[in-house]
Structure 1
Amino acid sequence: FSQQVDVAMTSNCSFNETDHLMQTLELLIYVPVFFFGLVLNAAALLVFCVFLRKWTESTIYMTSLALMDLLLLFPLPFKMHAAQHRWPAGLQPLCSVLESLYFVGIYGSIYTITCIAVDRWVAICHPFKAKQLRSPRAALAACAAVWLLVVAAIAPTMYRFRDGGHADFHCFHGFSPKGWRPAVIACVQVFGFLLPAAAVVCCSAQTIWTLQRSGQRSAQSRACVKIIYSSLSAFLLPFTPSHIAIFLQFLVRLIEDCGHQARISLFIQLALCLSNVTCCLDALCYYFIAHEVRSTKHLRASVMGLRRATSSTSEL
């Protein structure tokens, strides 16, 4: 989430202290996030593309997610520079490209994680249909659709939401008023977060319920449930505060009290900054998801056996 915070919310309020504090916090957060995120995601791609000989649904989704995270990490050095320095007006096209890449990485990650949750739900909750619905080709088509959808939705809009001019500017800051129209914010909130979050939460909850209902109390079942909880936390913790912050930024433009504006501005910028930790959280989830893949085959067989027994009993 780019820090598109309109620092000068009103002409009578000053946010110099907030901006100075955030410049320090950004460096403390972005530097380790960039380093660890780059190393972990590059290592994940190396494992998926070189060492693993067989492409499965999970490895395809995780490869796409790693690419999305690397796309998100690429603009971070430019964000750190833009927070400290103003850019000449001639660099506005470059800024729009970097902002587009940043948002594509964020929302591409959100939808890829949604695909992983749905794929897990199909494998565990609908084991009979999984053979027809799940395949490496279907996973590859889903990832390609996510890339095309996110690029088509974000890339054209970034150029329209930044006002051209001849003055120096801060990249990743200061969308034009067109970027804060109610229709735009509603689309970002609903299609960018609420619908994917609802799908992830519902699929995760039903998967956990199915595992517990199956009567499996093995270490594999317990580990799978823990992995689902971890994946759900890794999705909600970075993205929920940042989208709340976007909504608050939309509302704060109507607030006239400078004290409230300063506090909300600090929360907005800090929440958007911390959302970049998702690159590291996703990389840590790769190991757990890979472990889950090995357990899912046995769990799906157990669920299928339970449902066959239930079906036979109901026919008596």
Structure 2
Amino acid sequence: MTFFVISRLLFLHLLLIVLHISSALEVNSSNRSFPKGRSLVVSNGTLPDQHKEQIQSYRTELVVPLLCLFAFVIGFPTNTLALWLLVLRTKKLPSTILLINLTTCDLLLLLVLPFRIVYHFLGNNWTFGEPFCRIVIALFYGNMYGSVVCLALIAVDRYVALVHPFGAKTFRSNKNSIYMSVFVWIVVAAAAVPLLASKQSYNIKNLSITTCHDALPLEEQEKYFLPYFATLFSLCFLLPLLVVLFCYSAVLHTLMAEGKRFAHAIRVTVLMLTVFIVCLLPSNVLLLLHYSKSDFANNDLYVPYLITSSLSTFNSCIDPFIFYYVSKDFRNRLREALRCSGSDSESSSESRTKMTLLSKMSGTE
């Protein structure tokens, strides 16, 4: 029961945040004074002095790339291992198909992090050209929200399997999983296309750098990126979060009512909530507050957003642990792979020992 109370309180808290952001955005549409937004405002190829201070901050040039580097170092090998196991070693069950899509989204997001790391280490100077800037930003946001939607569909799959086991025979099929996979990639494409179609890099004359998505014209921010990110927040983050809360609260309620052990389900729930609340919620809320005219948003939120955006990439590091608890077949295959690697190392060490003994024996003879 405690979990249900927490879920309802969290839902009400998120609802208040959305209402606050919505009211702030309404004020923003009626008041067109100079904003302090998420994206710094570029005008005639220059940045105002207060924005120059932010983009030259050590936090954007050191802290942000170090966070991205840590996420890449941890997330890329773990997701590569997970994808190898899911594609080549596990049975193609409905849940496995969804996990493959989630891993693919995470890997595509992680693959663009090295370019963002170099960009920030160079003092927020983009040297890879405008087309590639669009591709990197589109892959970053598209796959981030695609992975969120995929996590929600995995929660629905677990909900049907445990709460409605008789209906699961019809719903949980490979065919339906393929349909859900197609839906995930439609979301990825819908999130990526607006970024691919808009100019992302601007030459900042008074800093002698070229920014990528960080400095945008005021009109572009208000008329293009505000509705774009507001739609992503509502449909690709808030709605999936509510779906996850509903599905896993129902799963825990069912397991508790049947007197079954639910430590396993609690681990999955905690990991899911960690991804949504710790990794993704701060960056998504700050993303919209940057465009608003509320008292809180009048503070400079550019640097905090970049930091929380970097922290949001840590969801790719947590997802492999979700695979471990969601799929029993994945757990077994991972253990087999680890045992094989351990036995291979032991056999190689044994062979080296035997060769050493033989050389010693031949030497004494």
Count the aligned residue pairs: 281
The structure-2 alpha-carbon separation of the partners of 1:226 and 1:80, relative to structure 1 and needing over 3 Å to count, comes to closer
Tell me whether 1:249 sits opposite 2:290 in the alignment.
yes
Distance 1:164 1:239, change over 3 A: closer
Q: Which has the larger radius of gyration?
A: 2
Q: Flag structure 1 segments of 5+ consecutive residues without an equivalent.
A: 295-316
Structure-2 separation of matches of 1:280 and 1:29: 12
Q: Deviations over 1:247-291 (max 9, x none)?
A: 12112699896xx32xx3332121111111111011222212124
Are residues 1:288 and 2:288 paired? no
Aligned to 1:114: 152
Cα-to-partner distance string for 1:30-50 (whole Å, 9 max, x where unaligned):
222111111000000111112
Residue 237 (1) aligns with residue 305 (2): no
State how far apart, in whole Å, the 2-side matches of 1:79 and 1:253 are.
30
Correspondence for 1:65 among 102, 120, 123: 102
CA change 1:74–1:163 in 2 (3 A) is closer
Q: Which residue number corresponds to residue 215 of structure 1? A: 259
Name the % identity: 24
What does 1:1-316 correspond to in 2, within 5 Å? 5-8=38-41, 11-14=48-51, 16=53, 19-52=57-90, 54-85=91-122, 86-87=125-126, 91-151=129-189, 153-162=190-199, 169-176=210-217, 177-181=219-223, 182-216=226-260, 218=261, 221-251=262-292, 260-261=299-300, 264-291=301-328
What's the offset of the Cα at 1:224?
2.2
- TM-score, normalisation: structure 1: 0.80
Give the Cα separation in 2 of the matches to 1:114 and 1:243: 17
Q: Distance in 2 between matches of 1:269 and 1:208?
A: 35
C-alpha spacing 1:26/1:131, structure 2 compared with 1 (3 Å): same
1:251 counterpart SS class: coil
Instruction: State the Cα distance separating 1:165 from its structure 2 match.
Output: 6.2
String of CA shifts for 1:179-233, please: whole Å, max 9, x gaps. Answer: 44443332122112111111111111111111112222x3xx3322332232232
- Over aligned residues, Cα RMSD in angstroms? 2.8
1:28 is displaced (CA, Å) by 2.2
1:145-176, Cα deviation, whole Å (9 max, x unpaired): 2112321x123211444267676521242244
Unaligned residue ranges in structure 2 (runs of 5+): 1-36, 332-365
Q: Deviations over 1:72-103 (max 9, x none)?
A: 01111111122233235x81111111111111
> 2 CA distance for matches of 1:225 and 1:14?
44
* Per-residue deviation, residues 3-58 of structure 1 (Å, max 9, x unmatched): x9423588352453672222211232122211111100000011111222x21112
Q: Decide whether the 8 Å contact of 1:82 with 1:172 is kept in 2.
A: no
For 1:162 and 1:253, the matched residues in 2 are separated by 28
